[in-house]
Structure 1
Amino acid sequence: MSQEKLDAHFQEWQDNEAVAEEMIPLLGKLYRKYNVVPSLYGRSLINRSVIRILKNHRYVKRVEGTELSVRDTFPLVKTMTELDLGPAHIDLGKLAVAFKKSGRNDVEAYLREELAEIVGKHGENGMGGEPKDVVLYGFGRIGRILARILVEKAGGNLLRLRAIVVRGDGSGDDLEKRASLLRRDSIHGPFAGSIRVDHENNAIIANGNYIQVINASSPSDVDYTAYGIDNAIVVDNTGKWRDEEGLSQHLACKGVAKALLTAPGKGSLKNIVYGINHRDIGDEDRIISAASCTTNAIVPVLKAINDEYGIEHGHMETVHSYTNDQNLIDNYHKGDRRGRSAPLNMVLTETGAAKAVAKALPELGGKLTGNAIRVPTPNVSMAILNLNLEKAADTESVNNYLRDMALHSSMQKQIDYVDSPEVVSSDFVGNRHAGIVDAKATIVDGKNAVLYVWYDNEFGYSCQVVRILQYMSNVHFLYLPRTRD
């Protein structure tokens, strides 16, 4: 290749960097002033670096087969800041691709048509609901990731993280250690922002969000109104209570309106997988379960397959990263095999995810069996779905269908899709979808189908929990351009 061509490639990259740099403050204005959340085929553009913005544009080539440059999207972003928009989630990538294919030239006229529902609606609360106080009861792996997401979205989703409740008396350097664990994470990296500690008032201040730290040994020890917290949703991350009776302790506290469990609920509790059965949540439901990370990962894919091909029966095998429930080295554990060293062994264990599917998808009740293998990785898991279909299919048609569901259906926040022969588990750390279909691993032969679904069992699940929180708070986003139901 000539030096001239080499220089041209480098110059193009630098030009694109310059456009992305110019785009960042405009994206920030859309988010902070207009409450517009821009994305690129589901990849968020808020608080992203120049390189991440460019990579997100490159992603469009993989999913649509169409090149999309920042030079294509920049005019749309700039014009959107001038349309006095109301609140919404806007997929900039889909708008830009459709605009390119249309052959039109007038960006403003195009956006006024596509975004007609929110043009000139700045200041109107199109999301519905009022700001809702949120309390995290327990501050372990899920609790800290929820805190990161809630702080990141503060001001954009009407959810206000007001407090965390932890065990102990708060003596010594307890507060500093809690803040440090939020600030640094071995898996998910450093906190995106600034964290300060208010020792006098026992609080953590994260990106300006004042978070009260409450030390208590049980729910009955807490009066939230004493901290100015009222009508709150308590998110129980401890897993200590999983039935209505146990979780009702939270409702007995002053200042609490509802409780959300980040674990499979027992008894008559509704187990909710957002995107599937979240509309089953009624105003009268005061205690809800967000099911498990595995249930959230597989139910959207199972629903998609069952809707199109029908499922007669199947078996689910979860290859799951180890968790704090296991031991670092061999020691007593009440669960079978879980007492053996997690970093040194694959541990065959049980999972309730297969049975739990029926709580979100009753039509699959009794049709699935399941087991789990805990493996020596700290995060990101995989579900292998071995299904017998009612209608014969082939690998290509199933993959094309799942790709379409990931890009254009109402489950686009739950189902992601990857078609690369080189991806491994660490590539999905921080993925915000409930599950990611690995197209290269799909096997379909007539009525027999084997699907491989990755999922970040910490971050992806926490994003699903936040979506449930929003729904429980009557926060309903408008997604544009419109997707199929």
Structure 2
Amino acid sequence: MRIALNGFGRIGRTVLRQVLRHHPDIELALINDIADPATCAYLFQYDSVFGPYPGRVRAEAGMLRIDDRSIPFTGRRALGDLDLSGVDVLMDCTGTIQTRAHAAQGLKAGARSVLISGPCDEAERTIVLGANEDTLGDARIVSNASCTTNALAPLLRAVQDRFGILSGHMTTVHCYTGSQPMVDAPRGPFARSRAGAVSMVPTTTSATHLIDLVLPDIAGRVTGAAVRVPVISVSAIDVTLRLSSPPAGPAEDALRALAEASEVIGWTDDPCVSTDLRGRPESLVIALPETLPRGDQLRIFGWYDNEYGFSARMIDMARRMSARG
């Protein structure tokens, strides 16, 4: 499989780390980013979340050199200016694609498919592995939804299929991101304009809308909100569901069984804190000690590395899209 990365920020760099570590069969045909190549090389070499890359990284003329591997590196602002001939999947990790016409520039440049690393209402499909991958079909412009949707949707799919969901509410306890300022500064919503590293910030989450899109059979049944918190990585979902058929036995056993039957959900019996989950590739890791059943209600708490797990799903989705031929 040949992929190209448009955008070499948090997700683009994390995708590349995983490709180099776990996917030797994937060929990276191109990296495109408008930032200075030397800065991009430095930020890949030294990462505040995942630590230094265990090798040599440097920028050369038109190349990003990682150990003995040379990857073409360009700085084009428009997708249509890229040469994507022979690329199976263009992963757009810029966070800027909001229209189908914009994404289609990648197809016109030669890519067979475009995978968007975030919500895009105009994508042909929004797909979350473990929730609705059976609807992918022949779509060539696909959104991978959001990190929180990837954590929540597979859980809701599994619970709905096994127990039935009557209603529920989810709060994501989310680490701060680049969309928040380091010091108080205008960012649109008042609370999101406050310094992200010193306060817990109540806000909204795109997962509320995306869950209805990805799981139309439970649309309108699960609401959601977010609290941004002063940690640099790893987030959590705290969801309480009212079930039509609650588990007959211990809820922890039922959730463990759901996780073991899933390709993207994990579980832990340990009393973990957020930093313990850094670098986990699952979309969600259910914290079984936090399970709380009460009659027809079930509280589920789960961790997700919002960068590493989401990037792992980007690679999985690219493989699925490429395999269609």
Q: How would you bin the TM-score normalised by the shorter chain?
A: over 0.9
Mapped to 2, the partners of 1:392 and 1:203 lie a distance apart of 56
CA distance in 2, matches of 1:452, 1:388: 15
Question: Which residue in 2 is equivalent to 1:93?
Answer: none
Residue matched to 2:265: 415
Q: Tell me the SS of whatever aligns to 2:245.
A: strand
Taking a change above 3 Å as real, the CA distance of residues 268 and 133 of structure 1, as seen in their structure-2 partners, is closer
Q: Which residue of 2 aligns with 1:257?
A: 112
Q: Secondary structure at the match of 2:71?
A: strand
Residue matched to 1:248: 104
CA distance in 2, matches of 1:154, 1:439: 31
Local SS of the residue matching 2:294: strand
- Name the residue aligned to 2:220: 366
Q: Determine what percentage of the aligned residue pairs are the same residue.
A: 32
Contact preservation (8 Å) 2:264, 2:284: yes
C-alpha distance in structure 1 between counterparts of 2:305 and 2:151, whole Å: 9
Q: Given the superposition, is the C-alpha separation of residues 261 and 268 from structure 1 closer, same or farther in structure 2, using an over 3 Å criterion?
A: closer
Contact 1:151 1:161 in 2 (8 A): no
Unmatched 5+ stretches in structure 2: none
1:420 deviation in Å? 1.7
1:205 match: secondary structure:
strand
Give the TM-score normalised by the residue count of structure 1.
0.64
Q: What SS is found at the alignment partner of 1:391?
A: coil
Q: Which residue of 1 aligns with 2:276?
A: 427
Residue 426 of structure 1, CA deviation: 0.2
**Count, aligned residues:** 325
Aligned partner of 1:68 in structure 2 is: none
Partners of 1:268 and 1:195 in 2: CA distance: 35
Task: Check whether the contact 1:145–1:459 (CA below 8 A) recurs between aligned residues.
Answer: yes
Q: Is the 8 A contact 1:203 1:212 kept in 2?
A: yes
SS of the equivalent of 1:273 reads coil
Matched residue type, 1:467: D
Distance (whole Å) between structure 1 residues aligned to residue 186 and residue 255 of structure 2: 43
Root-mean-square deviation (Å): 1.8
Q: Which residue of 2 aligns with 1:330?
A: 184
Match of 1:401 in 2: 254
- For residues 329-381 of structure 1, give each alpha carbon's deviation from its aligned partner in whole angstroms, at most 9, with x where no partner exists: 00111234211100011111111202211222221111111111111001100
Other-structure match for 1:138: 7
Task: Give, as a single letter, the amino acid of the residue that structure 1 aligns with 2:32.
Answer: V
Q: Return 284-293 or 330-339, whichever deviates more.
A: 330-339
| 2-structure distance, mates of 1:406, 1:393 | 15
**Equivalent position to 1:458, from 298, 302, 307:** 307
- 2:71 corresponds to: 211
What is residue 472 of structure 1 aligned with on the other side? 321
The DSSP-based 3-state class of the residue aligned with 2:295 is: strand
Give the Cα separation in 2 of the matches to 1:417 and 1:406.
6
Deviation by residue 1:6-65 (Cα, 9 ceiling, x = unmatched): xxxxxxxxxxxxxxxxxxxxxxxxxxxxxxxxxxxxxxxxxxxxxxxxxxxxxxxxxxxx
Query: For the Cα contact (< 8 Å) 1:355–1:366, is it kept in 2?
Result: no
Match of 1:129 in 2: none
Alpha-carbon deviation of 1:205? Answer: 2.4
8 A contact 1:428–1:454 mirrored in 2: yes
Structure 1 partner of 2:45: 183
What is the rounded CA distance, in whole Å, between the counterparts of 2:147 and 2:291 in structure 1?
21
Q: Secondary structure at the match of 2:113?
A: strand
C-alpha displacement of 1:475: 7.8
Q: Which amino acid aligns with 1:152?
A: R
Q: Is the 8 A contact 1:393 1:445 kept in 2?
A: no
Bigger helix fraction: 1
Whether the 8 Å CA contact 2:247–2:254 is kept in 1: the answer is no
Shift of 1:393: 3.5
Q: What SS does structure 2 have at the residue aligned with 1:316?
A: strand
CA distance in structure 2 between the aligned counterparts of 1:331 and 1:238, rounded to whole angstroms: 22
| 1:297/1:215 CA distance change after superposition, 3 Å | same
Query: Partner of 1:260: helix, strand, or coil?
Result: strand
Distance across 1 between alignment mates of 2:107 and 2:233: 33
Displacement of 1:439 after TM fit? Answer: 0.7
1:297 matches 2:151: yes
Q: TM-score, normalised to structure 2's length?
A: 0.94
Q: Distance in 1 between matches of 2:302 and 2:148?
A: 10
Note if contact 2:34-2:75 (Cα within 8 Å) is conserved in structure 1.
yes
Contact 1:139 1:166 in 2 (8 A): yes
How far apart, CA to CA, are the structure 2 residues paired with 1:150 and 1:330?
37
Is the 1:264–1:292 Cα contact (8 Å) retained in structure 2? yes
Question: For residue 86 of structure 2, what is the aligned residue in structure 1?
Answer: 230
| Bigger RCO (CA 8 Å, 6+ sep) | 2
Contact conserved, 1:316 with 1:385, CA < 8 A, in 2? yes
Partner of 2:19: 150
